[in-house]
């Protein structure tokens, strides 16, 4: 069987590291036909759109993609292509393993953690109102009419959204992943002590889901305590599941524990499609110098092979990376 896979090289160092990953994946012998499409700055320059419809159509058609890093402006400019891609394709689960590799410089040893991050809601819904706009004024007035806590009229707003359905779905994914991969425990990470309605809802749904998986141990941790626990006794944890913002932060923390973003793969999984990518950025100052480390991109390719059911090939890639390092 030949697999059709959409390859999005990205920008900055993206074409270099994604090209390296492609060569390694081709060397496994798994038959893949690569369909190259653009997104990000390269697509903006050539097509006037950071996320062209033909790129989305390719991903919908092939159902699997491998994506290089892309530039996201800080504080201004176009919205994150990564966020747009996840929302357009319904990629609700962000899978970010963190595993120690012998030879990689890091403070910790023998780390083997998996962060499962909800991708589509929480603080990253993109529902924002800028300071001084008429829309912000309307929202602030509506809130102030209903809340004892008053918002100042010049505030900027970001809306956090947590739903029962999406909370349940991501926790179910974490438990199913744990069961399929021989993992023994799932920990829900939250801030339900402060955000009692949003994170409280997430925690209640996680507890309800956990009752259906008696073969997998379950506990929960407040997010700030979770960060401390990971520094003190990471061996007590296995699969961590959490809302979007916490997952973004803790996945980078776990990456730092195993040596940094340069060795941290990830996958974005939806009901109909999946896109795999390195967590790190596009590092434009290093582009074209043949000095970027492709390890994270290669390991993301291994995650992709596992998703395709090519477990043996994925293990060969992971073993080869470990041997080389």
170/149 Cα distance (integer angstroms): 32
Catalytic site residue from 124, 173, 177, 237: 124
224 catalytic residue (yes or no) = yes
Q: Which of 11, 199, 220, 248 is catalytic?
A: 248
β-bridge mates for residue 67, sequence order: 8, 277
Residue 67 annotated to the active site: no
Q: Which residues pair with 120 in a beta bridge?
A: none
E-assigned strand segments in the chain: 3-8, 32-36, 64-67, 93-99, 112-118, 128-129, 157-158, 185-190, 217-222, 239-242, 265-269, 274-278
Neighbouring CB atoms inside 10 A of 207's CB total: 13
SS3 208: helix
Based on the residue annotation, tell me whether 191 is a catalytic residue of this protein. yes
Reply yes or no on whether 248 is catalytic: yes
Inter-CA distances, 202 with 124, 171, 211, Å: 15, 9, 15
Catalytic residue among 166, 177, 191, 237: 191
Residue of 26, 224, 272, 289 marked catalytic: 224
Instruction: Identify each DSSP E strand in 71-166 by its residue range.
Output: 93-99, 112-118, 128-129, 157-158
- Element of type H or E holding 242: strand 239-242
Residues marked as catalytic: 124, 191, 224, 248
């Amino acid at each position: 069987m030949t697999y059709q896979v959409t390859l999005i090289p990205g920008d900055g160092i993206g074409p270099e590291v994604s090209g390296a990953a492609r060569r390694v994946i081709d060397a496994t012998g798994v038959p893949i036909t690569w369909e190259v499409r653009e997104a990000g700055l390269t697509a903006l320059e050539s097509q006037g759109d950071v996320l062209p419809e033909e790129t989305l159509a390719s991903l919908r058609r092939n159902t699997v993609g491998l994506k290089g890093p892309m530039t996201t402006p800080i504080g201004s400019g176009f919205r994150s292509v990564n966020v747009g891609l996840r929302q357009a394709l319904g990629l609700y689960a962000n899978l970010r393993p963190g595993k120690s590799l012998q030879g990689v410089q890091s403070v910790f040893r023998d780390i083997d953690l998996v962060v499962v991050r909800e991708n589509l809601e929480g603080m990253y819904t993109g529902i924002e109102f800028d300071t001084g706009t008429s829309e912000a004024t309307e929202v602030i007035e509506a809130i102030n009419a209903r809340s004892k806590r008053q918002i100042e009229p010049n505030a900027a707003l970001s809306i956090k959204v947590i739903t029962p359905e999406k909370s349940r779905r991501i926790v179910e994914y974490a438990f199913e992943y744990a069961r399929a991969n021989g993992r023994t425990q799932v920990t829900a990470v939250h801030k339900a002590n402060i955000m009692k309605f949003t994170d409280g809802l997430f925690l209640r749904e996680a507890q309800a889901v956990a009752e259906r998986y008696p073969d997998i141990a379950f506990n929960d941790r407040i997010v700030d305590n979770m960060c401390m626990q990971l520094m003190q006794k990471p061996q007590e944890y296995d699969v961590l599941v959490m809302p979007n913002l916490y997952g973004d932060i803790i996945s980078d923390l776990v990456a730092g524990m195993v040596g940094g973003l340069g060795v941290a793969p990830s996958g974005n999984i939806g009901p109909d499609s999946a896109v795999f990518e390195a967590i790190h950025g596009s590092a434009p100052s290093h582009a074209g110098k043949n000095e970027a480390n492709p390890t994270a991109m290669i390991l993301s390719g291994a995650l992709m092979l596992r998703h395709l059911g090519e477990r043996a090939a994925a293990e060969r890639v992971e073993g080869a990376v470990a041997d080389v390092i």
